[in-house]
Structure 1
Amino acid sequence: MVDGTRFGWWSRIRRVAESDTISGLIMLGFALAGLLLANVPATTHLFEAIAETHVAVPSTNIDLPIGHWAQDGLLTIFFLVVGLDLKQELTTGSLANPRAAAVPMACAVGGMMVPPVLFLLVTWLFSTFGPASPGFAMVASGEVHAFGTLAQGWAIPTATDIAFSLTVLALFAKGLPGSIRAFLMTLATVDDLLAVIVIALFFSSLNAWYWFLGIAACAAAWALLVRMRRVPWPLVAIVGALAWVMMFEAGVHPTLSGVLVGLLTPSREMHGEETPRAERYKDKLQPFSALLALPIFALFATGVHFKTLSLAMMTSPVVLGIIAALVIGKPVGIMLTAWVTTHFAGLRLAKGLRLRDLFPAACACGIGFTVSFLIATLAYDDPELSGEARFGVLVASLIAALISGVLLSHQARTYRRRATGDERQTAVR
């Protein structure tokens, strides 16, 4: 009876975690809570004390505050789920047939190229024509920064949050053809992979070479262990933890260890199993990612204390640059790439899908959130700039969600009316 109750509770938790709508709203709630807790006078000092409390790993030089553990530690679970999902998609999913996935894959690249251009343009305009000296721009805190410093945030608006974009689809796109969801899923999956590459290439400071030998050894050990008939999970956990430590010591962002081991997990049935291990492991880890890692990360990521949290924040070149990049740059990059690839590259959209049908989903891709928050913490050393960047991601993501929600709702009503009309014509015949 106790076991049945326990598994019953676990089944409910898994259902909540598998719901794009519920898990997305939970993460949004934690993000808003972090912003309030860090700026309401009654909770500011307590929240800051918790976030800055250091926790060290014995016998290592790893000593991080709790806020950084949420970013560098817990978020590894999310990236492990991303890695497992990518492996399955590349093997048997939407990315297994490159020709069929060519348009959304190209759109993911286009959707990552235009936003940095808009971000740099906005920050350049502020630094050229703003009230500060030429080449410098004033941010919301009153501090003056060179254009080169602000430009370091170019990668912040490149990412799409797959969980939130699918949440918007689940809420507002009922009745739309599955090809639109498949397009968004493929695009966001490739976007995740490209974001991982951006973090690895531009936000890593490589240290001694021998740490990379350790990473290779951990990768080989993981690949061997997860292919055994009976997987020795305690040993697998130790290897995974060691891979994280090696990544940290090598100067590569340690969350990428999750992507690495995820991509090394078998994605086809083996040893007479009915489902691939990558798929099963992803399903088991999803509740921890959606209901633990991401909410806590969002809480601390937005938990930035601003000197003045007011409408003046909306005049910051960093905030406006990120809003323009995510809300305008993302859909423009996606739609422009879709138009070029279908008109000049000989590629085709899924059957029954027209170019204009993609626009509402393209707007949903402006929801940055998770990875954009992470890049914002990596791009700027200055805490005020980092805080303003994360505030900009939050505001831009909410605006993109609102716009895409309205457009998807209208699109869904149009499809339902069209379907009703077709049914009536069929009945008359």
Structure 2
Amino acid sequence: MTAAPPPRRATFLALPPWRERRAIAEALRTETIGGLVLLAAAVLALIWANSPWSGAYEQIRDAHFGIPALGLDLSVGHWTADGLLTIFFLVAGCELKREFVTGELRTPATAALPMIAAVCGMAVPAALYAATAAAGGGSLDGWAVPMATDIAFALAVLAVISTHLPAALRAFLLTLAVVDDLGGILVIAVFFTSDINLTSLGGAFAGLVLFYVLQRLRVRGWWWYVPLGIAIWALMYNGGVHATVAGVAMGLILRTTRDKGEKESPAGRVSHLLHPFSAGVAVPLFALFASGVSITGPALSGVFTSPEPLGVAIGLIAGKVLGVFLGTYLAVRFTRARLNPDLAWADVLGLSVLAGIGFTVALLIGELAFPGPDLGEQVKAAVLIASMTAAVLSAFLLRRRNKVYRRLHDEENIDADGDGIPDIHQPTAAVAGTAE
């Protein structure tokens, strides 16, 4: 009689089974889970940076390692901001391209209102920052920090709240955030470049042209695109332009239309494949090493006493509300743009407050605008405080709207006689505005 084989030991940090990996990836593709992971990373960073082990946090964040063949030697914090965050911008570029080709932005009539709202939602916060900084004798370098809305965080808040809110509200927010991201990307590319190296920049441009040609020729295979993408990224960084711009550029080049016989377009495949990594690794690691600020002492008190962080907080909390809401109202009032009939003005107000969640892009622009330790920490604290304030206020407003739509939904589906047919049925949009 042979003895039974000993039970297999679980390997420490081994990959989970394929079924579990697929379930995790699918979860990270949802806005709710991705936003919660991002929030958890930010909270962990704040706890770690304000704990007795804060020295270890700073040592890890500031530790340098490089790739000599690419001429790179960066700290861990810079690798997450310039390297891993490029994956986030690549996915964002694919989303932008999809919106322009097949989504909400493909027809000017549909896209006009959220685009106007997005532009006003960038201009007003920048103007309020400039006014606040100038009045206090501060630097105007941070004017772009409160401009951008964080897509992942804002959609996560909306997804948690929205059980009965109109689908048009999510479409409005997504279009607004996409245009916001495009504006933030352009600001980074134009205003936050270091000394330009024309040779490296020319090489990056040539790489993008080759990337485009490969797409037009329908060349397939990751072994073509991954090495080329890394080379473009490194050349862009060495060229003096923020390296995340390379991710956006490649995302915009990827084809979003399907050829005959294709189940998914190249942009769709890339976005589907990289979204879990972006939401579960790239953005949380960036948040982990960008959100670690002291919440006691000068960093926290400086938010309300220094003109630069105060301007950022006012821009995100008040500027976004004024810009998005008034921009939408004035566009409806004085142009041919029309608000979606499924939406009420109270919905737009809640969405305007939600747009004040700046987080990822705001933290990135804040690092570029204020690289110094003291003012930079204060600006980061201002972004975090303003984003959390916007999240809480918008959750309160949108929860109230959700209750209104839930009540209307229940009233529409009264079945007093039990025959399975609602006795009262009125279109929600027709009465939503009366419940503001």
After TM superposition, the score normalised by the length of structure 1 is 0.89
**Greater Cα offset, 291-300 or 225-234:** 225-234
Counterpart amino acid of residue 52 in structure 1: D
CA contact (8 A) 2:325 2:352 kept: yes
CA contact (8 A) 2:189 2:242 kept: yes
CA contact (8 A) 2:346 2:401 kept: no
Counterpart amino acid of residue 351 in structure 2: A
CA contact (8 A) 1:160 1:366 kept: yes
Counterpart amino acid of residue 123 in structure 1: A
**Greater Cα offset, 312-321 or 155-164:** 312-321
Query: Among 316, 319, 322, which residue is 1:326 paired with?
Result: 316
Query: Among 236, 243, 250, which residue is 1:254 paired with?
Result: 243
2:209 aligned with 1:220: yes
Counterpart amino acid of residue 170 in structure 2: R
Instruction: Calculate percent identity across the aligned residue pairs.
Output: 38
Change (3 A) 1:314 1:251: closer
Partner of 2:67: 57
1:122 deviates by 2.5
- Deviations 1:77-128, CA, capped at 9 Å, x for gaps: 0000001111111111111112111100110000000111222222333x2x
CA contact (8 A) 1:173 1:411 kept: no
Q: Which has the larger radius of gyration?
A: 2
2:188 aligned with 1:199: yes
CA contact (8 A) 1:39 1:309 kept: no
Partner of 2:141: 152
CA distance in 2, matches of 1:310, 1:68: 21
1:352 deviates by 2.8
CA contact (8 A) 2:295 2:381 kept: no
CA contact (8 A) 1:225 1:232 kept: no
Partner of 1:70: 80
Gaps in structure 1 of 5+ consecutive residues: 128-134, 136-146
SS of equivalent to 1:63? strand
1:229 deviates by 4.9
CA distance in 1, matches of 2:244, 2:424: 59
CA contact (8 A) 2:42 2:287 kept: yes
Query: Among 88, 106, 109, which residue is 1:99 paired with?
Result: 109
Counterpart amino acid of residue 121 in structure 2: G
- Deviations 1:135-191, CA, capped at 9 Å, x for gaps: 4xxxxxxxxxxx2x3x21111000100111111111112101101111111111111
SS of equivalent to 2:223? helix
Partner of 1:174: 163
Structure 1 vs Structure 2 CA RMSD: 2.0
CA distance in 2, matches of 1:231, 1:287: 22
CA contact (8 A) 1:17 1:23 kept: yes
- Deviations 1:248-274, CA, capped at 9 Å, x for gaps: 111100011000011110110025202
SS of equivalent to 1:64? strand
Gaps in structure 2 of 5+ consecutive residues: 1-15, 416-421, 426-436
1:216 deviates by 1.9
CA contact (8 A) 2:85 2:244 kept: yes
Change (3 A) 1:53 1:310: closer
Partner of 1:139: none
- Deviations 1:333-384, CA, capped at 9 Å, x for gaps: 0111111111111111223323332111111100000000000000013221
CA contact (8 A) 1:320 1:392 kept: yes
Q: Which runs of 4+ in 1 moved over 6 A?
A: none
| Structure 2 counterparts to residues 29-428 of structure 1, below 5 A | 29-40=40-51, 42-125=52-135, 127=136, 135=137, 147=138, 149=139, 151-227=140-216, 229=218, 231-270=220-259, 272-304=261-293, 308=297, 312-317=301-306, 318-424=308-414, 427=423
